[in-house]
């Protein structure tokens, strides 16, 4: 049906202004600490094992229950966010993982830490879903890939930051300060972003036209004050209002399959491989200090990968970027698996650098850009939440699978698992993936 407020077209025609940067940095700050909390596990795992705070058998539980929490958080957030709004949801989840992070710093034994990590996971899974989806609804289509990829850049910045802080802090003071940093930072951001606006697109999709119109008028007034007169808004496409049952029918069903599989793949690449890098290096004979130093070097590649994804997603499109980075992942992963960190450090670091870049090109696009774009506003968080739930759910088993593969086949076994997932990803994206580059969200929705 025709739009009364036309919030989508009015937002899309706004020139980039301080309004967009404010939204980006306030949402992005929370997303950064989400990434920090995700990646802090790598250094913490190595430390709790070395200090005898944990046994090796407890580590899969620590990692897996984090993903159980993230799986539940992603699913619940999708329904809560579409029902009660983006603003309510992104504040609640940030408060949850901020308080749980502080509590984790004072855990008395590994069982307490595992339980608190599960609670952290509830907030972490929710933040990923609502943060990307919220920004998707504010930024214009011509640069949407860049904005969302740089949001992923902020999330991934948690990787080198935790690697650097782990290298500086953990050998001297242990793992507890790492959680204190996460908790304090998250709560500061929670306070700062209390004044973020609701999504006008969501308000309009819920029939709250008066609120959507008032908010759009306020936004346009703010942008006009800095950028001058605004161009006219495009006429919105005439589309029916979709319900949740549309996720069970083509073509939304195919989009659900694409979104779910790419998130299963990228979650397993990150949390079945990247997050285990310190442990892999320890198993290959390096000290914890050398292991963390190797991880720090490779973590720099994650930022380069996100920056490259930000460029290619708008320059050549989402599908071409995903498929190209997937092919590089396969080739570099095969080479990487053939060398040992202790005997061939140059090759491990150089090929590993390329591999991490390729993985994080996909990370930037799949988490931040592609999946939220696939679905109409009225079901965006639910559909994205379900895709994230399946993605996170698959990684609940990955710590146990990785531990078994390492015991039987060492690092090559883990890498071959990753390669198999990426091959299927190429086929799914090529066969069923849509291309949202330079298209309004309403236009992408109209084709469904």
The percent of residues in the chain predicted with pLDDT above 70, rounded, is 96
CA angle, residues 288, 293, 298, in degrees to nearest 5: 125
When divided into structural domains, the chain yields a total of 1
pLDDT at 407: 84
User: What's the burial of 387, exposed, middle or buried (CB within 10 Å: 0-12/13-18/19+)?
Assistant: buried
Tokens of 302: 């994650």
pTM given for the model: 0.85
pLDDT band at 2 (very low <50, low <70, confident <90, very high): very low
pLDDT band at 213 (very low <50, low <70, confident <90, very high): very high
Model confidence over 4-30: pLDDT tens digits?
899 999 999 999 999 999 999 999 999
pLDDT band at 1 (very low <50, low <70, confident <90, very high): very low
Average pLDDT, integer, range 80-102:
92
> What angle do helix axes 398-432 and 318-336 make, rounded to 10 degrees?
140
Going by C-alpha positions, the residue among 445, 447, 437 that lies closest to residue 142 is: 437
Place of tokens 């969302």: 148
Model confidence over 433-443: pLDDT tens digits?
999 999 999 99
Looking at the domain assignment, is residue 316 inside a domain? yes
Looking at the domain assignment, is residue 206 inside a domain? yes
Longest Cα–Cα distance in the chain: 67
Looking at the domain assignment, is residue 2 inside a domain? no
Looking at the domain assignment, is residue 199 inside a domain? yes
Compute the mean pLDDT over every residue in the chain, rounded to the nearest whole number. Answer: 90
- List Cα–Cα distances, 49 to 100, 331, 405, in angstroms: 22, 33, 19
CATH of the domain at 389: 1.20.1250.20
Looking at the domain assignment, is residue 237 inside a domain? no
Are the C-beta atoms of residues 201 and 81 closer than 8 Å to each other? no
Exposure class string for 21-53: b at 16+ Cβ within 10 A, else e:
eebbebbbbbbbbbbbbbbbbbbbbbbbbbeeb
Looking at the domain assignment, is residue 423 inside a domain? yes
- List Cα–Cα distances, 109 to 38, 62, 66, 121, in angstroms: 20, 12, 16, 19
CB neighbours of 104 closer than 8 A, spacing ≥ 6?
113, 116, 117, 120, 179, 183
Model confidence over 233-285: pLDDT tens digits?
888 776 667 778 889 899 999 999 999 999 999 989 987 888 777 667 777 67
CB neighbours of 344 closer than 8 A, spacing ≥ 6?
none
My answer on whether omega of the bond before 390 falls inside 30° of 0, hence cis, is no
Q: Among 150-154, 395-399, 410-414, which stretch is predicted with the lowest mean pLDDT?
A: 395-399
Q: Among 29-43, 107-121, 134-148, which stretch is predicted with the lowest mean pLDDT?
A: 29-43
Residue 221 has pLDDT above 90, yes or no: yes
What is the C-alpha R_g of the chain? Answer: 21
pLDDT at 3: 53
pLDDT at 288: 67
Residue 57 has pLDDT above 70, yes or no: yes
Q: Which domain holds residue 351?
A: 11-228+246-446
Average pLDDT, integer, range 108-125:
95
């Amino acid at each position: 049906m025709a739009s009364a407020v036309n919030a989508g077209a009015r937002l899309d025609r706004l020139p980039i202004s301080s309004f967009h940067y404010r939204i980006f940095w306030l949402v992005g700050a929370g997303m950064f600490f989400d990434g920090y909390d995700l990646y802090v596990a790598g250094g913490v795992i190595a430390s709790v094992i070395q200090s005898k705070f944990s046994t090796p058998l407890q580590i899969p539980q620590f990692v897996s229950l984090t993903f159980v929490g993230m799986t539940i958080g992603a699913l619940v957030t999708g329904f809560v966010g579409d029902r009660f709004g983006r603003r309510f949801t992104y504040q609640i989840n940030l408060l949850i993982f901020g308080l749980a992070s502080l509590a984790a710093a004072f855990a008395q034994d590994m069982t307490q830490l595992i339980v608190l990590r599960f609670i952290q996971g509830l907030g972490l899974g929710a933040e990923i879903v609502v943060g990307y989806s919220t920004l998707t609804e504010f930024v214009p289509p011509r640069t949407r890939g860049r904005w969302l990829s740089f949001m992923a850049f902020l999330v991934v910045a948690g990787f080198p930051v935790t690697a650097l802080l782990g290298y500086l802090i953990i050998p001297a003071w242990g793992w507890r300060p790492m959680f204190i940093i996460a908790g304090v930072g998250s709560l500061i951001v929670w306070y700062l972003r209390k004044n973020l606006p609701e999504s006008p697109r969501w308000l309009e999709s819920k029939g709250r036209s008066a609120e959507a119109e008032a908010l759009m008028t306020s936004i346009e007034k703010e942008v006009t004050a800095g950028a001058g007169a605004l161009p006219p808004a495009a006429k919105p496409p005439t589309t029916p209002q979709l319900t949740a049952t549309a996720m069970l029918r083509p073509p939304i069903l195919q989009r659900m399959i694409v979104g779910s599989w790419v998130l299963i793949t990228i979650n397993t690449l990150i949390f079945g491989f990247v997050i285990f890098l310190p442990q892999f290096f320890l198993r290959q004979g390096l000290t914890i200090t050398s292991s963390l130093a190797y991880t720090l070097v490779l973590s720099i590649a994650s930022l380069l990968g996100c920056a490259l994804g930000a460029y290619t997603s708008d320059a050549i499109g989402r599908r071409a970027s995903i498929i190209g980075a997937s092919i590089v992942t396969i080739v570099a992963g095969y080479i990487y698996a053939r060398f040992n960190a202790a005997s061939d450090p140059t090759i491990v670091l150089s090929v590993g650098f390329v591999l991490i870049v390729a993985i994080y090109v996909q990370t930037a696009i799949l988490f931040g850009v592609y999946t939220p774009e696939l679905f109409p506003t009225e079901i965006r968080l639910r559909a994205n939440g379900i895709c994230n739930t399946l993605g996170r759910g698959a990684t609940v088993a990955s710590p146990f699978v990785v531990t078994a593969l390492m015991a039987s086949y060492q690092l090559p076994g883990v890498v071959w698992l990753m390669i198999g997932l990426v091959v299927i990803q190429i086929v799914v994206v090529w066969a069923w993936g849509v291309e949202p580059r330079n298209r309004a969200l309403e236009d992408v929705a109209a084709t469904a």
